Chains A and B, each alone.
Chain A
Amino acid sequence: MPRIFFIKVGQNYIIIMSAAPGSAMDSLSAALKCNIIPNQEYLLQGSVLDQYVEVLLHRLRGLCDNVDSGPESFHDHELSFALRAQGSGAAPMVLPLRVRRALDSPESPWQLRYVGQQELGDKNRPTVVRSSIDMACSSTIVEFLTELGCRMDFEYIARGYMFRKGRMKITVSKIFKMGNMNTKPGEGVEPISQSYLVELSVLAPTGQDAIAEDMRIFAEQLRPLVQLEKIDYKRLGNMS
């Protein structure tokens, strides 16, 4: 019987599932102390209208590392689960967990990911920073999370291209809403907007803020095609 632990790191939580809890927790906290776990995601987001996506892909092909192999395409299904627990305060504590799987390569492992609260920081910080832990898992993760009490919050399909530039990852993806319940994922889906979502991200251990500056410079090179920016989720939440 695996056991599950939640470790609070700053404002965020890390989940450990382990059969031997003591040792796992010890080694994890040791690893955390040594700053070898890439648990911070530096993120910039933007979008590009459908008719200009070819121009953007062309420019990315020129700027990024994987030139000879061409852009890597992906077709993923992402499910966002939420674990709601009554916290000490009045507001219930919500722990989001994301499950992602590749529809175009069914034999690949699934991915479970925790994404923490984003920190915008002040004006001098070029990117959004949020904690992020991800791991590979099998397809039974959905049942497991359901048993755990997680509920699926929402799901979507992302289809697009991935580029690399050093440690930076650039994705250009179309986001689709799942069709009605009677269709399989990947069928009967509809795009939610006339634009492609563009994300520039780096996963790095805590304290490697220098990478953010590289990202700012890279984002600068994509202007005015895409405006990659720090986007405040809280402000978006208030928008109607």
Chain B
Amino acid sequence: MQQREEKQLEFALDNIIQRVNDLKTSIASMIMKVENEYENLNWPNFLDNYALISGQLTALSKVLSHDKCPVLRNLTVLPLLLSPERDEQLAQSTEGRVTTFAHDLVPDYLRTKLEPMAETKMLQIEHKAGNLTYENAQKQVAAYQKVVVHVWDIVNKAREEWEVESSSRGNTQQNSSVADTHLLVAAVGMGKGLKMGTSPNGNPTSGGMMVAPQNRPGGSGGSVPIPPNTQSVPMNKAPSTIKTNIKSANQIHPYGR
């Protein structure tokens, strides 16, 4: 009878160790990937890895809850000998993570209860939960439900709006016009469309005529620049509304045109 139980325990432990080892290697490879291949790691690949790990976790918990598995909780691990010396066998079996079986590590590794602080906190919370009346609990659940549904609605609505916006942006968004760019650049760079006296039908202009300052209010003192009133080539087409005092500027300076 006892032999059979022992056999069962051994078998279960082997099984568990194997699963845990599988899990360990896949977690290690995942960490490897994240650390070394983060440049070309794609999302589907990452999710595949994650799915593998999650599958292994499920397998492990299945093994643990199998009815043939003995109840591990009922077994006791007893530290018989603590030693500050380095234990080669232990180091090897833990891949160098634990090298001594000493008093400062053992309480951490063989812990079966929560830390005292966490334990008192848990107790408090359990006590509080136990004291709640059924109606009160029901009320709170309903209130939380309401809040969660509300947030869910908000998120859904935002997603819908966002999707509509992004799909419409993909199709029709036109933020700038090439024609306008060219128009503006030509205007600022070469004065296209800005030159005074250019008639709408695009008559070429000949510069060289000066307008007397009195035609511009506030033009006294010379601080306001005086644009030359360029006139269209046939002289009789000059705008007659502006009284011009024309003098030949050509003779004033040596540079001609």
Contacts and interface: CB of A to CB of B under 8 A. Distances in A.
Interface of A: 45-49, 52, 55-56, 78-80, 83-86, 92, 99, 139-140, 142-143, 146-149, 151-156, 158, 175, 177-178, 181-182, 184-185, 192-195, 197, 224-227, 229, 231, 233, 236-237, 239
A193 B222 contact: no
A151 B256 CA distance: 11
Interface stretch (B24-32, B118-126, B141-149, B179-187): B179-187
Contacts of B182: 231, 236, 239
B223 A139 contact: yes
Interface string B11-55: 000000000000000000000000000000000000000000000
B40 to A, nearest CB: 22
Given A154-B195, A185-B224, A233-B185, 16 more contacts: A47-B184, A79-B225, A84-B256, A85-B255, A147-B253, A175-B187, A181-B196, A181-B216, A181-B229, A182-B217, A184-B218, A192-B194, A195-B177, A224-B173, A224-B175, A236-B186
7 contacts: A99-B225, A143-B222, A152-B227, A155-B225, A178-B227, A195-B176, A236-B185
Interface stretch (B77-85, B100-108, B130-138, B207-215): B207-215
Interface of B: 173-178, 180-196, 207-208, 211, 215-218, 222-229, 242, 249, 252-257
B201 to A, nearest CB: 12
A154 B194 contact: yes
Among B174, B177, B211, B217: residue with most chain A CB under 10 A:
B177
Nearest to B196: A154
Contacts of A142: 222-223, 225-226
Nearest to B229: A181
Given A47-B184, A184-B218, A236-B185, A155 B190 contact: no
B165 to A, nearest CB: 13
Contacts of B224: 184-185
Contact of B185 (A48, A139, A155, A197): A197
Given A47-B176, A225-B176, A175 B222 contact: no
Contacts of B252: 149
A156 B187 contact: yes
A162 B257 CA distance: 37
B181 A225 contact: no
A146 B184 contact: no
Nearest to B256: A86
Given A154-B191, A177-B194, A225 B183 contact: no
A167 to B, nearest CB: 22
Nearest to B189: A233
Given A46-B176, A49-B176, A84-B256, A231 B185 contact: yes
Contact of A197 (B188, B193, B242, B257): B188
Nearest to A45: B185
Contact of A192 (B187, B207, B227): B187
B181 A227 contact: yes
B175 A48 contact: yes
B256 A155 contact: no
B181 A195 contact: yes
Given A146-B226, A153-B195, A193 B180 contact: yes
B253 to A, nearest CB: 4
Nearest to A78: B188
A71 B206 CA distance: 41
Give the 5 A-B CB pairs with smallest separation, nearest first. Answer: A154-B191, A149-B253, A195-B180, A149-B255, A154-B194
B181 A231 contact: yes
B207 to A, nearest CB: 5
Contacts of A177: 193-194
A226 B174 CA distance: 10
Contacts of A181: 196, 211, 215-216, 227, 229, 242
A47 B257 contact: no
Nearest to B193: A192
A237 B190 contact: yes
Nearest to A194: B180
A83 B228 CA distance: 13
A102 B93 CA distance: 80
A84 B216 contact: no
B254 A149 contact: yes
Contact of B216 (A92, A155, A182): A182
Nearest to A83: B255
Contacts of A231: 181-182, 185
B189 to A, nearest CB: 5
